[in-house]
């Protein structure tokens, strides 16, 4: 079996929502004597449509649940998390896997992969993120007909790419970002066409009178898979990018096919699973009150978190670098994933990775009332192990140092968390609190969040926050606290109003 043949068919196909049990299937056609033949698809997920693989092939973005929300989920159905409330459509990932783009009510939205910082970019639908990450192509009728447009991923710079009397839909980038495949009805029937981004030259790819839609490029850019009704059922077909004979590679009914990324060298990334706050207690100090707690972040990924620091001799901070182990035995370095700074407090006379984890007390409608004042964290395997079953657990602690303890003149530092270990900070350590002196009685959410700026590369980001709902009372003006609810993998721990 050739690599091309297996790559062509590693597609997720979503059954139409009209089915009583819509879901996702994974298709691998049979290969005999160099020919590719359609095979029955196997059930992948029981619920979800409009699937898109994450760039590392570890998760799927799907439209599912009540109100057609945006969710991310592992291919085996585990680790399902809500990213954005519906109704949404056409989700797609940024090339680095740290953001998603989607359509809601005729507008293009961008959101962080942990479900935060949602922003509306422009009017349009069917967004597709360019491989370089700089642009998003979409469909809009702002000029009177459905044409292809692009916008910078950061917003602004809207540019029209096509202009025709017909309607263009379903844009898809080549892996080298030089061309777009899309569906058009300019000829009188819906066919697949190619657009050269630089020259704006257009060329037909399919013909024959059947309805063709939803093109997707193979991982090497040599073939295009698409949906066609030529056999009276919307099945998945493929054709070489230069044109020629077509092949049916998956039986319908089908939505847009998606190739699963399958890199030759796999990044052995960590997965930082934030635990909900524990050991909560109210303590007083010189007339002020703090809500104290224990925080823990588990590494449940397939590789260690390794974060180093480096600085010139006169700099106050060190630039943080993440070193990722690779499946071939090598390493890959990501620069500027944060900053290290030396802390001079009695409990923390060592180097801290800044903003690695943050604590917030929020109202039940999400307004932040109080943030922590903690300067940062010394990452290590010193204080705990991740609970439950961790597939790649390492039994022996590796990161047992204390981030250059009592060494303010150090020029380098190393820290991290081994797979299966927990970076834990108990409630009696300096900084493990939020000030509630002036917080009135009421119900609140205490949120713990790790990798707050998503600068550290991970397998997934949807489990980076956890929270508890608490009830604060003030008998005789002294605050008292009671935990009402514990919420894993969510910063929205809500309770019914009193």
Coil/strand/helix, residue 128: strand
> What is the CB neighbour count within 10 angstroms for residue 10?
19
Question: Which domain CATH number covers 213?
Answer: 2.120.10.30
Question: How far, in Å, CA of 223 to CA of 174, rounded?
Answer: 10
When the pLDDT of each residue in the chain is averaged and rounded to a whole number, the result is: 87
Asked whether residue 150 falls in the same domain as residue 277, the answer is no
List the one residue out of 46, 86, 56 whose CA is nearest residue 68. 86
Host domain of residue 362: 268-487
Please name the residues in contact with 31: beta carbons below 8 A apart, sequence gap of 6 or more.
Answer: 1, 2, 5, 6, 37
Question: How far, in Å, CA of 321 to CA of 182, rounded?
Answer: 40
> What is the CB neighbour count within 10 angstroms for residue 51?
27
Q: Both tokens of residue 33?
A: 């004597």
Asked whether residue 291 falls in the same domain as residue 323, the answer is yes
The beta-strand segments (E) located in 113-176 are 119-123, 125-129, 135-140, 147-152, 159-160, 168-173
The per-residue pLDDT for 232 is 75
Identify whether 146 is part of a domain.
yes
> What is the CB neighbour count within 10 angstroms for residue 199?
8
Asked whether residue 242 falls in the same domain as residue 273, the answer is no
Identify whether 150 is part of a domain.
yes
Among 230, 245, 262, which residue terminates a domain? 262
Identify whether 335 is part of a domain.
yes
Identify whether 497 is part of a domain.
no
The per-residue pLDDT for 5 is 32
Q: Which residues of the chain have pLDDT under 50?
A: 1-11, 13-23, 28-37
Asked whether residue 353 falls in the same domain as residue 479, the answer is yes
Asked whether residue 334 falls in the same domain as residue 280, the answer is yes
pLDDT tens sequence across 8-50: 333 454 444 333 334 455 554 443 334 444 555 566 777 788 8
Asked whether residue 306 falls in the same domain as residue 425, the answer is yes
User: Looking at the 3D structure of the chain, how many domains does it have?
Assistant: 2
Identify whether 494 is part of a domain.
no
Asked whether residue 299 falls in the same domain as residue 218, the answer is no
The per-residue pLDDT for 239 is 92
Asked whether residue 10 falls in the same domain as residue 103, the answer is yes
Asked whether residue 214 falls in the same domain as residue 302, the answer is no
Asked whether residue 251 falls in the same domain as residue 350, the answer is no
Buried-state track 351-380, b at ≥16 Cβ within 10 A, e below 16: bbbbbbbbbbbbebeeeebbebebbbbbbb
Spatial strand order of the sheet with 99-104 comes to 89-93, 99-104, 107-112, 119-123
Identify whether 492 is part of a domain.
no
Among 203, 234, 262, which residue terminates a domain? 262
Asked whether residue 360 falls in the same domain as residue 246, the answer is no
Asked whether residue 196 falls in the same domain as residue 90, the answer is yes
Identify whether 444 is part of a domain.
yes
Identify whether 493 is part of a domain.
no
Among 262, 277, 300, which residue terminates a domain? 262
The per-residue pLDDT for 104 is 97
């Amino acid at each position: 079996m050739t690599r091309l043949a297996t790559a062509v068919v590693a597609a997720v196909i979503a059954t139409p929502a009209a089915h009583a049990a819509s879901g996702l299937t994974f298709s691998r056609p049979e290969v005999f004597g160099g020919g590719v033949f359609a095979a029955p698809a196997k059930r992948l997920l029981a619920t979800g449509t409009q699937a898109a693989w994450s760039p590392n092939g570890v998760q799927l973005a799907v439209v599912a649940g009540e109100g057609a929300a945006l969710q991310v989920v592992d291919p085996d159905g585990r680790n399902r998390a809500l990213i954005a409330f519906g109704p949404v459509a056409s989700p797609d990932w940024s090339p680095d896997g740290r953001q998603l783009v989607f359509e809601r009510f005729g507008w293009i939205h961008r959101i962080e992969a942990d479900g935060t910082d949602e922003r509306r970019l422009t009017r349009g639908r069917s967004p597709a993120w360019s491989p370089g990450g700089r642009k998003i192509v979409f469909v809009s009728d702002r000029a009177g007909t459905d044409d292809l447009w692009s916008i910078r991923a950061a917003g602004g710079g809207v540019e029209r790419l096509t202009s025709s009397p017909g309607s263009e839909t379903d844009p898809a980038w080549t892996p080298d970002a030089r061309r777009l495949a899309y569906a058009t009805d300019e000829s009188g029937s819906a066919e697949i066409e190619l657009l050269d981004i630089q020259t704006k030259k257009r060329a037909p790819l399919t013909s024959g009178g059947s309805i063709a839609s939803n093109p997707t490029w193979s991982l090497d850019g040599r073939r295009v898979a698409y949906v066609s009704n030529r056999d009276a059922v919307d099945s998945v077909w493929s054709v070489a990018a230069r044109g020629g004979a077509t092949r049916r590679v998956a039986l319908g009914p089908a939505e847009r096919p998606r190739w699963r990324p399958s890199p030759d060298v796999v990044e052995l990334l960590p997965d930082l699973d934030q635990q909900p706050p524990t050991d909560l207690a109210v303590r007083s100090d010189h007339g002020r009150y703090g809500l104290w707690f224990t925080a823990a972040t588990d590494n449940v990924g397939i590789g260690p978190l390794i974060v180093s620091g480096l600085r010139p001799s006169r700099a106050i901070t060190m630039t943080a670098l993440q070193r990722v182990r690779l499946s071939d035995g090598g390493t890959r370095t990501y620069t500027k994933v944060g900053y290290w700074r030396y802390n001079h407090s009695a409990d923390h006379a060592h180097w801290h990775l800044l903003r690695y984890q943050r604590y917030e007390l929020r109202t039940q409608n999400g307004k932040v009332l109080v943030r922590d004042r903690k300067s940062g964290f010394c990452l290590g395997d010193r204080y705990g192990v991740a609970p439950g079953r961790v597939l790649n657990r390492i039994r022996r602690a590796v990161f047992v140092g204390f981030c250059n303890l009592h060494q303010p003149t150090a020029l380098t530092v190393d820290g991290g968390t081994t797979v299966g270990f927990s970076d834990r900070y108990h409630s009696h350590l300096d900084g493990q609190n939020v000030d509630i002196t002036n917080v009135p009685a009421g119900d609140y959410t205490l949120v713990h969040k790790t990798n707050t700026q998503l600068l550290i590369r991970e397998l997934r980001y949807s489990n980076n926050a956890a929270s508890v709902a608490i009830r604060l009372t003030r008998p005789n003006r002294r605050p008292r606290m009671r935990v009402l609810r514990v919420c894993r993998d969510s910063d929205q721990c809500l309770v019914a109003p009193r």
